[in-house]
Amino acid sequence: MYAYCALKKQAVVDAKDSYWGRHICWEPNLLTSMISMKRSPKNSNHGMTRQGKCQLTIGGITSATRSWYQRAYIDFFEDELVLNGYNWNKVLENYLFKGKEPLINNLISGLGHPLIHLGYAYELSSRELATEALSMACSSYDHLHKYLDDSKFTRPSSSGTQSPLELLCRVQKDSRFDGLFTHEGADNLAPLFKEHEAEVLEYWNAWQTVDPTEEFKGSQMAAAALLVASHKPGGKPYDFFVVHLLTTSHAVRILLPMIPAKHHLALVRQWWLLTVAVYIAQLRPEINLTSVTDYDRKGKDWLWVERQAVVGKHALDAHYVKALRAMRTAAQTWGDEDYFYLKAAVRFANEFDGWGGFGSEELTMAHQ
């Protein structure tokens, strides 16, 4: 335990200016999505090989060994597995849910990758993925946990609504955010919380949860709408950071039935905090719902969408496949009134041609 505390303290110091983190989507993320989208073993192996080669070109190492702290945490939690008889659920219980500042309240650090990875751990019942998710959460631990841990940041709102999509539209029209940044990207997040924390928390607290099931249903629709309905055909590429709002929402859906009920609301609310912050940092693109609701899918169905994920032009792009899977799963979970999710998935698959939304910092990182 002393080693854990020392590692966590030093990781916080070293990561204090890092909000997005430098995570690469690991092989299990892509593999799970491949299997879900009915990819054959042959295609899955090919995709894994390509994904592995892609990782090796970035610094010569995979994300599991990129950070010294992350590697050290993995070693630590692997030892904890042994001490707990390889009961990974017990390890998660000890380190994720306990204490005044439980680690689960900071899964949105590193652009939500700890949250995404933990979802795959539960989905695959994998102790390896569980220890990796814990190490990611620890090594990217940042200040965002305080908004969940300290009740003083949760305040009643005079303009609350149960619709996250309505709130995003309000954010888009809020002149207080005009001209804050000259470009999209990670370097916008630090000044956003430093100089405009009150405005961010205003919208964070404005999401009311009268009926948690219905509100979460609305949040998943909002995540899909934010990715697809904010994209202008023929304009910039789809936003790399915004897609993480969809895939983290998918992870929340996986985790809610698995974790203690007392953490449900905090988990959903930290997703909403990430969503508000990323939307502002990415310059608040207008969300044009009719670009999805009126979209002519020309008879294309979910089988067509699955084929794009399995053998399509971008089938080896992990984020592309995960986005399609998240929309299909949302449709299966909630039903697909007026084919909203299907239209969004077809439009996304038709238009996708790479990722954008990067600021100068991320573009430099991508070429290192």
- Written as one string, the DSSP assignment of 147-172 is HHH-GGG----TT-BS-HHHHHHHHH
pLDDT at 35: 58
Q: What DSSP state is assigned to residue 238?
A: E
Characterize 153-181 residue by residue with b for buried, 16 or more Cβ atoms within 10 angstroms of its Cβ, and e for exposed.
eeeebeeeeebbbebbbebbeeeebeebb
pLDDT along the chain (368 residues), means of 10: 45 39 48 57 46 32 54 94 97 96 96 96 96 94 96 94 97 97 93 97 95 94 98 95 98 96 96 98 98 98 97 96 97 96 98 91 46
Cα separation of 181 and 179, whole Å?
Answer: 6
How many Cβ atoms are within 10 Å of 147's Cβ, its own excluded?
Answer: 23
Contacts of 240 (CB under 8 A, 6+ apart): 319, 355, 356, 357, 358, 362
SS3 assignment, position 239: strand
Per-residue model confidence (pLDDT) at position 360: 62
Q: Is 70 in contact with 123 (CB distance < 8 Å)?
A: no
Q: From CA 272, how far away is CA 282, in angstroms rounded?
A: 15
- Looking at residue 209, its pLDDT comes to 87
Write the burial class of residue 54 (CB in 10 Å: 0-12 exposed, 13-18 middle, 19+ buried): middle
Query: What backbone phi and psi angles, to 5 degrees, belong to 139?
Result: -75, -15
pLDDT score of 71: 86
Element (H or E) spanning 356, and its range?
strand 355-356
Give the N- to C-terminal CA distance of the chain in Å, as an integer.
36
- 49/251 Cα distance (integer angstroms): 25
Ramachandran angles phi, psi of 288, nearest 5°: -100, 90
Amino acid making up residue 11: A
**By three-state DSSP, how is residue 18 classified?**
coil
Tokens found for residue 286: 């207008």
Tokens matching residue 21: 């983190």
3-state secondary structure of 61: coil
Angstrom CA distances, 25 to 8, 181, 220, 291, stand at 22, 28, 21, 29
* pTM > 0.75: yes or no: yes
